[in-house]
Structure 1
Amino acid sequence: MKKLVSDFLRFINLNQGEEDRRKVLENVKSNISFSGSNLWILACAIVVASVGLNVNSTAVIIGAMLISPLMGPIVGAGFGLGVYDFYLLQKSLKNLMVATLVGLVVSTLYFYISPFKETQPELLSRTAPNIYDIIIAFSGGLVGAIAITRVEKGNPIPGVAIATALMPPLCTAGYGLAVGNYRFFFGAIYLYAINCVFICISTFFIVKYLKYPTKKQLTDKYQTKVKYIISTLITILILPSIFFAYQLFQEKKYQHAVDIYLEKEFSSKGIAILYKKTKFNQNPKKLELGFLSKKFTEKEIKALNEKLKAYEINNTKLLIMQDTTDLKSDILNEIKYNKSVLSEKDLAILNLKKQIEDNKYKNKALLAEIKILFPEIVNISIANHTYNEETDSVKTVPILIYKSTKVLEKESEKKLASWLEQRLSKKSIEIYSQK
């Protein structure tokens, strides 16, 4: 048993593959400064992230997270706290404050100037943090701290930048200021604070675990004070996030009950629902429905409201919209709200359809034409084949495999290839006989 424990501890030992500690600290210190090029890179990354949030483009937001230098001072603060280098800690926090203010100013200016002020889903998702965001920030911070202390840095660093997502909440806070929505501002700043603090704390734990030498020896009293401050900070950030996570769970549970209610009371009875909207945060909650053609009497609406409790949909009022003018207005607003999401999905579907069409050949029709020229061919299969996928010289070539009563001569194969190139408007085609 003792040997098993020893083997396991050796297996998870982080000292293997560790970079020289002086070099690690030098790298950390060099990345905390926000002046000159770092400040310009940050400002540009903020603009890129703001544009991504504004047009609801996940790819653009990820790009901004990858080029952002925000992780530097946060990791620096974690190292400063871990080795009790309070000058490094103070400098890191000062630079983080500068970076945060620059980020807020640039994003607020962008969203204030931007003609598009609609609240996109990418913005909404950064306004209500919960316990899962803490888990992501802490785990991502651990990965980042471990990667920084390795000789081989590998792929984790870009992944940490994406997972911990420092840029989007900071830009969302700027959006909240620009449009005067302070609920958005405080929600996004809270998420940003969660990410910063838990990356810093996870870095502190890794520094302590690896036993980096302390710059200043502290008495037990001061060490206890540092631990007390960290514990208090963790508690302050965790408690609201647990509440938000509970709210999210309740909302998902409520929505599931609503879906069952709608399926059993309407869809299964052939009543088509044209419009549906739930207002979970109101008191009482509201469930708004609009139907394609069905009209309900006051008695029927009352009966449907009474059935809500049977599905555990409590404190909810069912509102059936039967005024076509109001219903039309709400549907148009809903379509407008989801326009960017639908556009991206439609674009992705069109791209996939195009790829399928580009790689699709009418083998049956081609065989009928080929048989006129080469009667000995009894079957064919033609498809695109991609060469050199992992290089810069990728090329796609159609390949024809034919089955015949006798193998075509080289001259006949060349003639068939030339005919197919003309017929399919391709530069080159490869032909093989099925053995």
Structure 2
Amino acid sequence: MINTTQKILSFINLQNGEENKKKVIENITSAVSFRGSNIWILACAIIIASVGLNVNSTAVIIGAMLISPLMGPIVGAGFGLGMYNFQLLKKSIKNLLIATAVSLTTSTIYFYISPFKDAQSELLARTSPNIYDILIAFFGGLVGVIAVTRVEKGNPIPGVAIATALMPPLCTAGYGLALGNIKFFLGAMYLYTINCVFICIATFIIVKYLNYPITKQLDLKHEKRVKYGITILILTLIVPSTFFAYQLFIQKNYTAKTQNFIQNEFLNYDYPIIYKNIEYNKSPKRIELAFLGKKFSENEIADLNKKLIYYDIQNTRLIIKQDTFNLGKDIMNRINDSKNLVDQKDVLINELRNKLSQYQFNKSQINKEAKILFPFIHSLTIGNYSYDSKTNTSNIIPVVLFQSKNNIDNDSEEKLKKWLKTRLEKDTIEVYRQNVILKK
């Protein structure tokens, strides 16, 4: 049993394959400094990341994160804290602040002069950090510092740079500054702070675990102060991020319930939805829907609102938009505000399809049927327009022009007229034969 335990501990022992500590410290210390080329590389990476956020390109953002030198001073701060090397800690924090200032300045200038001001999904994703971002930063930091202390570095470093995502929050903060959006700025800076602090804490833990030499021996009192400071900092960041994570869970749970409600009460009955909008942040919350060709009575809408309780959808009002004119205006307003081009295309297609269906006929099929039912017809043409010269008005109604092989009697003309009304499902049509109007 003891041998098995020893084998397991040996198998997971971080001392295996560890680089010489002195060499690691030299590498960390040299990577902390932000001078000359590092500043230029950082500024260029910030521009690339800003462009990626601006055009919503994940690939470009990843590329920027891979060339960013921001990890250096953060890991240096963790080493300085773990070895009680306060000179290295101060130098790391100083250079991190310089890098942050350069990044914010560069991204702010870019977004200020950029003609594209829309907040894309990649930008919005960096404005509301939660507990998951803490987990990513912490375990990403663990991987990063473990790789740094290995003889064989392997390929974890690029993955850590992508996972911890230090660049996008800084660019988003610059976007908030450029547009004067304080909410975006604070949310992005909070995410950036979370990433920096928890990478630093992960580094601190590994440095202590690997027994890196202490530069300055602290008495028990000062050591406790350091530990208390770290604990307070962790709690300060964890508490609000946990709250945000809980809010995210509640919102996703609410969205799942509303989707279940819409599926069971509408989609299962083949009611095509042409417009859907869920207002989660209003009080009461709102579910706005519009349907293609389906009308609901006030009693039906009231019953559907009562069913929301059955689906455990609280403090919510169901609104079904049925005013065609106002709905069209509202849809267009939503499209202008919306950044989702696919939704915009679908709404427009459904709107146009609904309108065109009122005026389109299968002319070829009607022509064939007419020739079978009325052998005297030589050709038949259908259009959608009529002009009344007496009242100087125009009406969009079916207009039929036909040619006959021979003269036809009034009864045949009347039968043709009635059949066309029934076939076209119209109460009013106009029929012309050889420039002679058939009586309505």
- The two structures have a TM-score, normalised by structure 1, of 0.76
Alignment of 1:286-435 (within 5 A): 286-322=286-322, 323-333=326-336, 336-339=338-341
- Relative distance call for 1:85 and 1:190 in structure 2 (3 A) is same
* 1:236 alignment partner in structure 2: 236
C-alpha contact (below 8 Å) 2:275/2:331 kept by paired residues:
no
1:25 aligns with 2:28: no
Amino acid corresponding to residue 341 of structure 2 in structure 1? K
Point out where structure 2 has 5 or more consecutive residues left out of the alignment. Answer: 346-440
SS at match of 1:337: coil
Letter in 2 for 1:204: F
**What one-letter code is carried by the residue in structure 1 that aligns with 2:114?**
S
User: In the alignment, residue 88 of structure 1 is paired with which amino acid?
Assistant: L
- Aligned equivalent of 2:166: 166
- Name the counterpart of 2:66: 66
Q: Which residue of 2 aligns with 1:280?
A: 280
Report the CA distance shift for 1:220/1:342 in structure 2 as closer, same or farther (over 3 A): farther
Question: TM-score with structure 2 length normalisation?
Answer: 0.76
Q: Alpha-carbon deviation of 1:342?
A: 9.8
Q: Which residue of 1 aligns with 2:81?
A: 81
2: distance between equivalents of 1:52 and 1:220? 49
Unmatched 5+ residue regions in structure 1?
Answer: 344-435
- Aligned mates of 2:317, 2:274 — CA distance in 1: 19
Equivalent position SS for 1:278? strand
Supply the distance in 1 between the matched residues of 2:81 and 2:190 (Cα, whole angstroms): 22
Paired residues of 1:55 and 1:340 also in contact (CA < 8 A) = no
Shift of the 42–342 alpha-carbon distance from structure 1 to 2, 3 Å rule, reads: farther
- Structure-to-structure mapping, 1:87-126, within 5 angstroms: 87-126=87-126
Give 1:384's aligned residue. Answer: none
RMSD of aligned C-alpha atoms? 1.6
The C-alpha deviation readout for 1:61-104, integer Å capped at 9, x for no partner, is: 00000000000000000000010000100010011011111111
- Of 2-11 and 31-40, more deviation after overlay is shown by 2-11
In the TM superposition, what whole-angstrom CA distance separates every residue of 1:323-380 from its partner, at most 9, and x where no partner exists? 332343145236x50139999xxxxxxxxxxxxxxxxxxxxxxxxxxxxxxxxxxxxx
Q: Distance in 1 between matches of 2:91 and 2:133?
A: 27
Q: Deviations over 1:168-198 (max 9, x none)?
A: 0110111111112211111111110000000
**Which residue of structure 2 aligns with residue 39 of structure 1?**
39
| Runs of 4+ with deviation above 6 angstroms | 340-343
* 1:319–1:162 Cα change, 3 Å: same
The equivalent of 1:180 in structure 2 is 180
Distance 1:155 1:126, change over 3 A: same
**What amino acid sits opposite 2:340 in the alignment?**
N
Alignment partner, residue 202 of structure 1: 202
The answer (yes or no) to whether the contact 1:49–1:167 under 8 Å persists in 2 is yes
Q: Is the 8 A contact 1:56 1:341 kept in 2?
A: no
Q: How big is the shift at 1:317?
A: 1.4
Judge which range, 71-80 or 312-321, deviates more: 312-321
Contact kept? 2:71, 2:161, Cα under 8 Å: yes
Match of 1:224 in 2: 224
Q: Per-residue CA shift, 1:187-218, capped at 9, x if unaligned?
A: 11111000000000000000000000100001
CA–CA distance in structure 2, aligned partners of residues 96 and 4 of structure 1: 45
In the alignment, what sits opposite 1:144?
144
After superposition, residues 6-25 of structure 1 pair within 5 angstroms as 6-25=6-25
Residue 337 of structure 1 aligns to which amino acid in structure 2?
A: K
Asked whether the 8 Å contact 2:194–2:237 carries over to 1, the reply is: yes
SS of alignment partner, residue 115 of structure 1: coil
Structure 1 residue 220: deviation in Å? 1.3
Counterpart Cα distance in 1 of 2:156 and 2:33? 22
Distance change in 2, residues 1:197/1:163 (3 Å): same
Show the counterpart of 2:50.
50
The verdict on how the C-alpha distance between 1:229 and 1:314 changes in structure 2, with shifts beyond 3 A counting, is: same
Cα distance in 1 for partners of 2:142, 2:71 equals: 13
Counterpart CA distance in 2 for 1:255 and 1:328 is: 21
Distance in 1 between residues matched to 2:302 and 2:99, nearest whole Å: 56
SS for the counterpart of 2:32 is coil
For 2:331, the aligned partner's letter is K
Q: Which has the larger radius of gyration?
A: 2
Question: For residues 342 and 317 of structure 1, what CA distance do their matches in structure 2 show?
Answer: 24
Letter aligned with residue 297 of structure 2 = T
Return closer, same or farther for 1:275/1:257 CA change in 2, 3 Å cut-off: same
Deviations 1:220-251 (A, max 9, x none): 11111111111111101011111111111111
Structural mapping, 1:125-140, within 5 Å: 125-140=125-140
Q: Per-residue displacement from partner, 1:118-172 (whole Å, max 9, x unpaired)?
A: 1100011111111111111000000000000011111001010001000001101
CA distance in 2, matches of 1:291, 1:297: 13
Q: Name the stretch that deviates more: 156-165 or 174-183.
A: 174-183
Q: For 1:104 and 1:127, how far apart are their aligned partners in 2?
A: 15
Count of residues in correspondence between the two structures: 342
Match of 1:422 in 2: none
Change in 2 beyond 3 A, CA 1:55/1:213: same
